[in-house]
Structure 1
């Protein structure tokens, strides 16, 4: 379940679900400003979903976690990471799987946006309830299948911003199993 969170940034989804009713005036979009601000907000959230697929983290020799952006040459660290940059950041180069994850994360977010009632009511007010149900019935299963297969064929090895690396968990004691010495 922890790896599922990496596919779509939960912070972005939370912010979208929190602010979308405000920006769309609960789907009414009485003014053009409502539609424009909602559209800009959707694009920014989509960009965040895509961008988060290109972030990663590493630990320095002191065990401190640093975050950066994956590039073709390696990881471009945050400014605070420059003074303690002792890790080999060239091993964090961009891979095909990063672009696959970015595309499909954006697709999942787009589906989430298109199924959100306030967004549909704002941008497509004449869409009937039957049309909405038909879209859900026809669009969701194939998209879910394709996205699931893509994420399975291209596993995500990045530990983006807010997702601790595996070393964080390997040093902890499992409280459910008896300790052996």
Structure 2
């Protein structure tokens, strides 16, 4: 009797041991794998929301318009620097409302701007029908993303030594502390908001994914 029941006990033990390997948490992912996946997703959200292209353009042009931080007394370099900062901030704001989609007819990626009525296609192709375009309309979170994106760019501009030297050749102790602490605080808060409230938009140049 005891010898005949042993195989059954052994099979039950095998099932118990194999369950964590066959079904882990219902999605086949361990806690570590789930944490890594979440980290990658958060990084992707940051890449889409941070004004990376605008910052790159700014860093390339900043040494030129500020004369590497040595602005002349006429104020021309300061005016050009202020214009560059304004244009880059405007670019960060506007690009937050760009989106892209794949045209079912041609399988080509199309680009547009989100508006209150839907998506305004800007690549010269046929416009979306009203029902499809309405899925891309502007939402309040888009405005939040745009404002925070401008703030993050402002933090980068405040960290730029050429800009600081141009506008504040001899900063006071209080100004120096503000220029040191404020950009870091803006960057941390902005990144946390981007991770906590991600976007479903793809912008221009980012791979498409199911909405």
- Scaled to the shorter chain, the TM-score interval is 0.7 to 0.9
Match of 2:24 in 1: none
Which of 133, 142, 145 aligns to 2:185? It is 142
Change (3 A) 1:138 1:38: closer
Which of 113, 134, 159 aligns to 1:90? It is 134
Which of 126, 140, 147 aligns to 2:170? It is 126
CA distance in 2: counterparts of 1:29 and 1:142, whole angstroms: 28
Which of 81, 89, 94 aligns to 1:38? It is 81
Match of 1:151 in 2: 194
Structure (1 or 2) with the larger CA radius of gyration:
2
Q: Would you say how many aligned residue pairs link Structure 1 and Structure 2?
A: 165
Match of 2:124 in 1: 80
Q: Are the equivalent residues in 2 in contact too, given 1:68–1:78 (CA < 8 A)?
A: yes
Give the aligned CA root-mean-square deviation in angstroms: 2.2
CA distance in 1: counterparts of 2:184 and 2:159, whole angstroms: 13
TM-score in terms of structure 2 length: 0.71
CA distance in 2: counterparts of 1:82 and 1:37, whole angstroms: 39
Cα offset for 1:131? 5.0
1:117 is aligned to 2:158: no
CA distance in 2: counterparts of 1:130 and 1:78, whole angstroms: 46
| Larger helix share, 1 or 2 | 2
Change (3 A) 1:16 1:82: same
Q: What SS does the corresponding residue of 2:152 show, helix, strand or coil?
A: helix
TM-score in terms of structure 1 length: 0.82
